[in-house]
Amino acid sequence: MKRKLLSGILSVAMAASLLAGCGSAAETSAPAPAAETKTETETTTEAAPAETATETTEAAAETPAAGGKVGVAMPTKDLQRWNQDGANMEEQLKAAGYEVDLQYASNDIATQVSQIENMISSGAQVLVIASIDGDSLGTVLAQAKEAGIKVIAYDRLIMNSDAVSYYATFDNYMVGTKQGEYIKEQLDLDNAEGPFNLEIFTGDPGDNNARFFYGGAIDVLKPYIDNGKLVVKSGQVDFDNVATANWSTENAQSRMDAIISANYADGTKLDAVLCSNDSTALGVTNSLEANYTGEWPIITGQDCDVANVKNMLAGKQSMSIFKDTRDLAAKTVEMVDAIMKGTDAPVNDTKTYDNGTGVIPSYLCEPVFADANNYKELLIDSGYYTEDQLK
Ligand code: BGC
């Protein structure tokens, strides 16, 4: 991993990042609404009038900054975070004067492709896409490019397509290092005798982010696996063995069921479970509650989903990573604005994310460590959740 060096300085970064976010977006964006209950196919068209889909960048340069149609393709409503991403994008784009076509695809690749086709044919000028499978959009995005429509990859990189102009995301490698560092510090791996038992759960193989999360964490933990201080009793360590199809809670839960019955049913202590995100952490927690009788392990997560924050407060999940979707939306709206004006969008990374056609200029927001001690400041005081949502 190119960014291995980062892992060494993360304990310091962890403290500092409590204060940091993704630029000044927190001041410019309104509080996120609670997870919404719109249908998967909702389209919102009450803002500015649609413009033609065939405009080129040059034509867009003459277009006033505000106005125009933006297609926003989100993967699913099943996971809380995407509801918030969609709601924030819609709200902020509308506030900036754009018409918004927001679609959710029920985690079905064919549905997402056809939603994007519709956005192209109905006059979107910019597409903001959180892909379900980063490798499956090449053909439809070639059509977008042909029509002069610019594409922003949102949160997840779209692979092997030269139609992608920008990538707006969080620092995905840093998410993984924060999770790995947390386990390292909590188990005091440099000083304690050990050995400690660890199990590992990461995300969907079709999501490029999963490899960054896994890579960041494993770069921190691998030396301790190699020297025997961490023992993975299931033997499942490689990415392919610890991936979770669709990031599904159920898939994580059934894999954890099997791991417990084969390795921990006799009371053997499980010390830590590295979970790349909250949906997998939820599956692991559910399985432990049903099948495990030993001392509760350290469990990591990511997203600060409501169910997981409740679990943190109940002592069932140790930490999560807070990625303020208001900030990501604000950055993405800045990118849309720049594209509409024909100027360069803000980026802060031009090295890390090669999608197979070259490096995609990216803006990486900073992920923030969250646990039961700082959730109030991060999540309640910032207006992300209300106290009632977490009861
Ligand atoms: C996102 C995570 C999310 C996961 C599952 C990843 O691409 O970055 O925040 O938990 O997908 O939806």
Residue 136 has pLDDT above 70, yes or no: yes
pLDDT tens-digit map of 261-314? 999 999 899 999 999 999 999 999 999 999 999 999 999 999 999 999 999 999
**pLDDT for residue 13:** 35
Residue 150 has pLDDT above 60, yes or no: yes
pLDDT tens-digit map of 69-110? 999 999 999 999 999 999 999 999 999 999 999 999 999 999
Atom of ligand 1 nearest to the CA of 303: 9
**pLDDT for residue 390:** 95
Residue 49 has pLDDT above 90, yes or no: no
**pLDDT for residue 217:** 98
Residue type, 355: N
Residue 145 has pLDDT above 90, yes or no: yes
pLDDT tens-digit map of 214-238? 999 999 999 999 999 999 999 999 9
Report d(CA 259, CA 12) in Å as an integer.
34
**pLDDT for residue 67:** 86
CA of 109 to the centre of ligand 1 (A): 16
Q: How many degrees, rounded to 5, is the angle at CA 333 between CA 112 and CA 3? A: 80
CA of 325 to the centre of ligand 1 (A): 12
Which of 170, 207, 362 is the pocket-test mutation for ligand 1 (most atoms within 8 Å of CB)?
207
Atom of ligand 1 nearest to the CA of 276: 10
Residue 39 has pLDDT above 50, yes or no: no
CA of 277 to the centre of ligand 1 (A): 7
Which residue did the predictor score with more confidence, 244 or 49? 244
Torsion angle of the four alpha carbons 158, 163, 166, 172, in this order, in degrees rounded to the nearest 10: 10
Residue 167 has pLDDT above 80, yes or no: yes
Task: Report the share of the chain in percent with pLDDT over 90.
Answer: 82
Average pLDDT of the segment spanning 240-251: 98
Report d(CA 139, CA 114) in Å as an integer.
11
- For each of the domains in the chain, give its residue range(s) and CATH number, in order of start: 7-170+325-366 (3.40.50.2300), 172-322 (3.40.50.2300)
Residues with CB under 6 A from ligand 1: 79, 81, 155-156, 203, 207, 209, 247, 277, 279, 302-303, 323
Is the CA virtual torsion 176, 181, 187, 193 positive or negative?
A: positive
State the Rg of the chain over Cα.
Answer: 21
Measured by CA distance, the residue closest to atom 3 of ligand 1 is: 277
- Taking the model in full, what pTM does it have? 0.85
**pLDDT for residue 76:** 97
The mean predicted confidence, pLDDT, of the chain is 87
255 Cβ contact list (under 8 Å, min separation 6): 201, 244, 283
**pLDDT for residue 66:** 56
CA of 130 to the centre of ligand 1 (A): 10
